[in-house]
Amino acid sequence: MTVAGKETPRERYRAQLRAEIKERAWEQIAAAGASGLSLNAIAKQMGMSGPALYRYFASRDELISELIRDAYRSLADTVRTAAASGADLAGLGHALRAWALDDPQRYFLVYGTPVPGYHAPDDVTEIASEIMESLLDAAQSGGTAADTPDDARLEAHLAEHRRWAADHPASPAALRRALLFWTRLHGILSLELAGQFTGMGLDPAELYENELRHLTR
Amino acid sequence: MTVAGKETPRERYRAQLRAEIKERAWEQIAAAGASGLSLNAIAKQMGMSGPALYRYFASRDELISELIRDAYRSLADTVRTAAASGADLAGLGHALRAWALDDPQRYFLVYGTPVPGYHAPDDVTEIASEIMESLLDAAQSGGTAADTPDDARLEAHLAEHRRWAADHPASPAALRRALLFWTRLHGILSLELAGQFTGMGLDPAELYENELRHLTR
DNA sequence: TGTACATCAGTGAACGCGCGTTCACTGATGTAC
DNA sequence: TGTACATCAGTGAACGCGCGTTCACTGATGTAC
C-alpha cells in the first residue's frame, strides 16, 4: 500500500490541517485586514487551543509569509494558464481582473501598501519574474501595431534597462506594452478594490476595457 | 492686545501640542505603517505619560482620522495650487509625483490598502471631489487633440455617468483624460512606492513621463 | 495690585484585554518485534 | 496477533508585553473682583 514517496495518513492529516489554518487565516484577513490576523483567534475558531497551531507553523510571521507566497503562486498560475492558452493581453487582462475581484485582500497582499520593516519572503521575487514572463509572452506575440513617436523615448530606455527581462527575447515595444499593461491595469484595479470609485457613478469595467483596447490596438 | 477671535496663549499652546503629536504620529507611521501607530508610544517619545494625549485627541481613531484628513487636504492643496497656476496635466502630474515621493506613507493613507471595517471620515469625500475638480480643470483646458476611435466608447459611457463631475463643465474627452490621468499615474506611483520596480533595473520616472506625454498629446 | 476662585495640563495607578510564544504534560496513533 | 515502545497532536497554565482608556489627583495658569 505504502508506495515510496506516498504520504502517510499522518502526513495527510497534517497537510489538511495546515490548509484549514490557512483557510481561516484568509477569512480573518478578509474581515479585518492582514494586520488583524491573530493565531489565537484562528485557533479559537477551529475549536482548539492557541499553542496547538505551533505544530503547523513556527510563528505568525511564517504563516503570513506562506499566505503571501500562495497569493503570488495563485496569480502566477492564473496568468500563466491564460498565456499558455494563447490569450493576448486582453485575455490576460480579463484573467487578472477576475483574479483580483475574486479576493481583494489577496490582491492587496501582493500589490498593496507595504509595511515598513516587514520583508517579503525571498522566493516571491522568483514568482514575480514568472508573472512578468507571462506578460512578456503575451505582449510579444500580440500587438504588432506601429508605435507612436511618443513611445520612442521610453522604448529606448527600456532597451537599455531590461535586467528584469534579460532572459526574454521580447522587443522593446513588447517590453513597453507589458509594463503599461501592468501599471495601467493595476492603477484601475487597486483604486476599484479600495472603493475609490464608489459614489462616482461610473463603471470601472468600462475604464478597464478602454485600457485593454489601447494595449491591444 | 486681545483682538476678537484672536487665540489666547493657552489656545496657541494647545494647537502647538496637537501639531507635535501629529508630527510624531507621522514619524511612527513612516517607521512602522499606520497599523503600528500607538498613542502610548507617541506620549513616551514626547516625554509625557500616555493619558496626557487624551487632552488633545479623544481617541486613537480620532487621531488617525485627523491624519487622513490632513493627507487629503495636503494633496488637494498641492493639486489646486498647480492647477491654479495654469499648469497642464503634465504639470499636475509632476506636482503629484513630488507629493507622493515626499512621504510615501502619506500617499498610502489616501490611496493605499483599505482596512476592512474601518470607515474614513465623511469630510474626505468632499476633499476628494475637490481634487477631481482640479484634475478636470487641467484636463479641460489642455489637450485638444483628436480622440482615437478607441476612446469613443468610454467617452459615451462617461457622458452618461458623470455624477462625480456633475458640477463641472468638462467635455467627455476631458472626463476621460482626467480619469486616465488618475488611474495611470496612480498605477505607476503605487507600484513604485511599494518597491515593486526594485531590482528590475528600469527608471519609474521614465514610465511616468511616458504616460504624461500620452495624456497631453 | 493683590487676593480668591475657576480652569485646565499632566501624572500615576489601575483595568481589562489580547497578543505571540514557552513549557511540561496527557493521551492517542503509529511502528517494531 | 499481541505486546512494548516511540512518535506526535493537542492541552492548560504561565510569562511578559503593550495596547487603549478611565479615574482621582496635583499643581500651574489664567480670570474676576
pLDDT in tens, A11-54: 999 999 999 999 999 999 999 999 999 999 999 999 999 999 99
> What band does B3 get if pLDDT is binned at 50, 70 and 90?
very low
Nearest Cα residue in chain B from A184: B184
> What band does B9 get if pLDDT is binned at 50, 70 and 90?
confident
B12 shares contact with chain A (CB less than 8 Å): no
Q: Do B179 and A153 touch (CB under 8 A)?
A: no
pLDDT of residue A141: 86
- A200 CA to D33 C1' in angstroms comes to 61
pLDDT of residue A147: 63
Return the minimum-mean-pLDDT range out of A44-48, B85-89, B140-144, B188-192: B140-144
Per residue in A99-125, pLDDT tens? 999 999 999 999 999 999 999 999 999
Strand C at less than 7 A from CB of A16: no
- A109 CA to D6 C1' in angstroms comes to 42
pLDDT of residue A179: 98
Task: For residue A186, give the nearest of B112, B154, B191 by CB distance.
Answer: B191
Task: For residue B116, give the nearest of A32, A154, A185 by CB distance.
Answer: A32
Average pLDDT of the residues of chain A: 94
Closest CA to the C1' of C12: that residue is B49
Q: Do A115 and B33 touch (CB under 8 A)?
A: yes
pLDDT of residue B8: 85
Nearest Cα residue in chain B from A200: B164
Provide the whole-model pTM.
0.95
Is a pLDDT exceeding 70 seen at residue B79?
Answer: yes
pLDDT of residue A105: 98
pLDDT of residue B148: 77
Is a pLDDT exceeding 90 seen at residue B163?
Answer: yes
Q: Do B116 and A105 touch (CB under 8 A)?
A: yes
Q: Residue B141: in which H helix or E strand, if any?
A: helix B123-141
Chain B segment 121-140 residues within 8 A of A by beta carbon are 125
Is a pLDDT exceeding 90 seen at residue B97?
Answer: yes
Is a pLDDT exceeding 50 seen at residue B167?
Answer: yes
- B12 CA to C8 C1' in angstroms comes to 14
Nearest Cα residue in chain A from B28: A116
Q: Which residues of A touch B161 (CB under 8 A)?
A: 201-203
Strand C at less than 7 A from CB of A37: yes
> What band does A1 get if pLDDT is binned at 50, 70 and 90?
very low
